[in-house]
Chain A
Amino acid sequence: MTTLIRRVAGDRSRRPVWQEPPTPVGQGLKAVVLTVLVAGVLFPLWVILVTSLSSRETIARAGGLVVVPRGIDTSAYETIFAGGAVTRALWISTLVTVIGTAIALTVTVLAAYGLSRPGSLGHRWLLAYFLIPFLVYPPLVPRYLVVTGLGLKDTIWALVLPPAISVFNLVVVRGFFQGIPSELLDSARIDGASDFRTLARIVLPLSRAVIAVVGLFYAVSYWNVWFDALLFIDRNDMYPIQRVLQSYLLAGQAPHTSGGSSGVTMPPTEAVKMAVVVLTVAPIVAVYPFIQRHFVKGVLIGAVKG
């Protein structure tokens, strides 16, 4: 047992000699709080996953949501992937996320490098120009009118372009670039490298961590887009996944299926609903652990400095 604890707890660093041993009450309190917190995050995920994989009988016996799994029934997922609104929405969301993240990362990295050189032409003015939107948000109604006026309504560009540069992410990347030793950049310049070349060959290879983190931020915000879709996407065959999730689970409308194959036996609706939730969570949970370790290292250096 103790070896197990030691294994989980890992490299238990030594308590400094001057520190008094912990009181049992304090220790217990801390354990309870942290356990509740961790369980509070994991339990809903667990219930939703288990329910999505449950059969009609299991769900009926549990009276709705299933906590303890009894067998695995993938019919909910089979229904979803047979085609229809959810599959299409997943496809649209994937498209928005991939295109959006690519564009946003390019725009942000370029702007961050362009703004990373104090003393360059127009530097102070440009920096102010890029930072002001951090304090003054674009107002809702004129923003709506601008996007519709540009004819972007019912296209994925209405979701992709407006958030394609986030000032916070820009500040993070810029801060990171400014932390790169200037000797490296100077030597490149002396060797005759252009700024584009310096960025591509020297700066970017050194900035993988921060680009991964900022890329995750962008990808998550594109995957999570909901309100912009409410504003700009009226055609329900263009809905991204969050919009489908909301209309299906929160507003209680069945997703419009394209095929109209209502003759087949329907899987339990509760399982299908929860399967939609699982499919919405899954990409985030899948990507997140790989990038999480860079958060503090990659993000805070830039953020706090900026």
Chain B
Amino acid sequence: MSEPAVLAGPERARPDAPASPGRPPGRPPRRGRVPLRTRLRRDWQLLAMVAPGFGILLVFSYLPIAGNVIAFQDYNPYLGDNPWQAFAHSDWIGFGQFQLLFSDPAFWDAFRNTLAITAFQLVFFFPLPIVLAIALHNLLSSRLRGLIQTIVYLPHFFSWVLVVTFFVAMLGGAGLLAQTMRDAGMQPWNVMTNPDTFIVLVTVEAVWKDVGWGTIVFLAALSTIDQNLYEAAAADGAGRWRRLWHITLPGLRPVIVLLLILRLGDALSVGFEQFLLQRDAVGRQAAEVLDTFVYHFSIATGNYGYGAAAGLFKAVIGLVLILAANRVAHMLGERGIYSKS
């Protein structure tokens, strides 16, 4: 598998931008003087193509985002025949739900769990794809590398139901490990229901599912590093570790920073289905994260306004985090997530 030259610089960001002299490159031509009707006649087909996606996002993304306002309501699903009527008839109560939320110990448990898992995975999960990508990149045989890649990418495509099923089958109370330990006359341990080691378990599961997939972007970045740099460094007497430190890692720096920022911006999301599936087995105390909190305290119990408030709180903090992280990236001189392309 040959990785193409990705991570092209900003100058390649818009290859079809007309390269006409006298205008700053990368800027769309000013259309101010063309009348709207002419533009409409010229572009109506493009607009028609965009319409279905526009509609789906309007109904299933923007409408729910606007629907966040029920966080300020005492939403009662039994007022009226459908959610629209219930929404119209429910009372507005201002920040009442948030006051309840912030005095709810279960909410702070979920908050703490979420941050703990994010921090743990930053240390024990985040570096692994980088290490694996470097190891794979250094394999001389391209066919062997392709074979390994094919295999380690695969679990990314399994659902969390499947992944948890695999782990239960291997490590659960009736699983292969317990079976083997029982045969050997040992007391089997069941990691699937142990709240104390839950944070390790979910990290191992996440690694199993996504460590291979995580290498793709690093492999792509590795393939863009100029081989002559290595040769020159070797000629100057740099050993393999110095080359790794002075060439490979700096070459990966933009990607590492980008992914780190994305992860930090998403610090309040640690995965949802994974936790929802295992929450009952290990208990709320260890396995409740913000996303599962929202579910359990809204739809599962019928307390919609409360769950919406928790969801809105999480979304606002998440948005602030991601904007702040992007700002930091620009300050560090990296491209960040959205660099006004």
- Establish whether residues A305 and B12, one from each chain, have CB atoms under 8 Å apart when the complex forms: yes
User: A164 vs B239: C-alpha distance in the bound complex, in angstroms?
Assistant: 51
- Establish whether residues A141 and B83, one from each chain, have CB atoms under 8 Å apart when the complex forms: no
Q: Which of B175, B183, B216 contacts A295 (CB 8 A)?
A: B216
Q: Which of B28, B54, B162, B307 contacts A140 (CB 8 A)?
A: B307
- Establish whether residues A145 and B143, one from each chain, have CB atoms under 8 Å apart when the complex forms: no
Q: Quick check: is B144 within 8 A (CB to CB) of the other chain? A: yes
Whether A226 touches B159, Cβ cut-off 8 Å, given contacts A140-B294, A301-B6, A304-B6, is yes
Whether A226 touches B161, Cβ cut-off 8 Å, given contacts A30-B135, A142-B70, A179-B15, is yes
User: A36 vs B286: C-alpha distance in the bound complex, in angstroms?
Assistant: 29
Chain A, residue nearest B315 (CB): A139
- Establish whether residues B28 and A123, one from each chain, have CB atoms under 8 Å apart when the complex forms: yes
- Establish whether residues A63 and B183, one from each chain, have CB atoms under 8 Å apart when the complex forms: yes
Q: Which of A108, A195, A226 contacts B160 (CB 8 A)?
A: A226
- Establish whether residues B45 and A195, one from each chain, have CB atoms under 8 Å apart when the complex forms: yes
Q: Quick check: is A281 within 8 A (CB to CB) of the other chain? A: yes
User: Which one of B100-108, B109-117, B148-156 contacts A?
Assistant: B148-156
Chain B, residue nearest A296 (CB): B3
- Establish whether residues B49 and A195, one from each chain, have CB atoms under 8 Å apart when the complex forms: yes
Contacts of B52 in A (CB 8 A): 106-107, 110-111
- Establish whether residues B220 and A65, one from each chain, have CB atoms under 8 Å apart when the complex forms: no
Whether A292 touches B4, Cβ cut-off 8 Å, given contacts A44-B169, A119-B29, is no
Whether A121 touches B166, Cβ cut-off 8 Å, given contacts A11-B143, A129-B54, is no
A 111-151 contacts with B by CB, 8 A: 111, 113-124, 126, 129-131, 133, 135-151
Contacts of A123 in B (CB 8 A): 28
- Establish whether residues A227 and B53, one from each chain, have CB atoms under 8 Å apart when the complex forms: no
User: Which one of A68-76, A83-91, A242-250, A258-266 contacts B?
Assistant: A242-250
User: A195 vs B41: C-alpha distance in the bound complex, in angstroms?
Assistant: 12
Contacts of A108 in B (CB 8 A): 53
- Establish whether residues B299 and A300, one from each chain, have CB atoms under 8 Å apart when the complex forms: no
User: A30 vs B136: C-alpha distance in the bound complex, in angstroms?
Assistant: 9
Contacts of A111 in B (CB 8 A): 49-50, 52-54
- Establish whether residues A126 and B83, one from each chain, have CB atoms under 8 Å apart when the complex forms: no
User: A12 vs B300: C-alpha distance in the bound complex, in angstroms?
Assistant: 57
How far, in Å, is B337 (CB) from chain A's closest CB? 8
How far, in Å, is B278 (CB) from chain A's closest CB? 9
Chain B, residue nearest A224 (CB): B159
Looking at B29, B31, B169, which has the most chain A CB atoms within 10 Å of its CB?
A: B169
Whether A137 touches B179, Cβ cut-off 8 Å, given contacts A120-B46, A293-B1, is no
Chain A, residue nearest B183 (CB): A63
How far, in Å, is A194 (CB) from chain B's closest CB? 6
A interface secondary structure, majority: helix
- Establish whether residues B150 and A289, one from each chain, have CB atoms under 8 Å apart when the complex forms: yes
- Establish whether residues B151 and A170, one from each chain, have CB atoms under 8 Å apart when the complex forms: no
B 2-26 contacts with A by CB, 8 A: 2-4, 6-8, 12-18
Q: Which of A13, A20, A141, A284 contacts B158 (CB 8 A)?
A: A284
> Could you mark each residue 166-185 of chain A with 1 if its beta carbon is under 8 Å from any beta carbon of chain B, else 0?
00001000000011101001
- Establish whether residues B158 and A281, one from each chain, have CB atoms under 8 Å apart when the complex forms: yes
Contacts of A42 in B (CB 8 A): 151
- Establish whether residues B132 and A37, one from each chain, have CB atoms under 8 Å apart when the complex forms: yes
How far, in Å, is B259 (CB) from chain A's closest CB? 12
Contacts of B256 in A (CB 8 A): none
Whether A246 touches B67, Cβ cut-off 8 Å, given contacts A118-B14, A301-B4, is no
User: A226 vs B165: C-alpha distance in the bound complex, in angstroms?
Assistant: 13
Chain B, residue nearest A297 (CB): B4
Chain B, residue nearest A177 (CB): B16
Between-chain CB contacts (< 8 Å), 24 pairs? A10-B144, A16-B231, A18-B231, A37-B132, A37-B148, A38-B148, A41-B151, A64-B179, A121-B36, A136-B319, A140-B295, A140-B307, A141-B294, A141-B299, A143-B64, A144-B298, A165-B56, A165-B57, A195-B45, A223-B159, A226-B161, A245-B162, A284-B157, A300-B217
Further 14 A-B residue pairs, CB within 8 A, beyond A110-B52, A115-B50, A120-B46: A10-B141, A34-B135, A65-B169, A114-B46, A126-B50, A133-B62, A142-B65, A149-B84, A195-B45, A224-B158, A249-B168, A296-B1, A300-B217, A304-B7
Interface residues of A (CB under 8 A from B): 8-13, 15-16, 18-20, 30, 33-34, 37-38, 40-42, 44, 47-48, 62-65, 67, 106-108, 110-111, 113-124, 126, 129-131, 133, 135-151, 161-162, 164-165, 170, 178-180, 182, 185, 194-196, 199, 220, 223-224, 226-227, 231, 242, 245-246, 249-250, 274, 277, 280-281, 284-285, 288-289, 292-293, 295-297, 299-301, 304-306
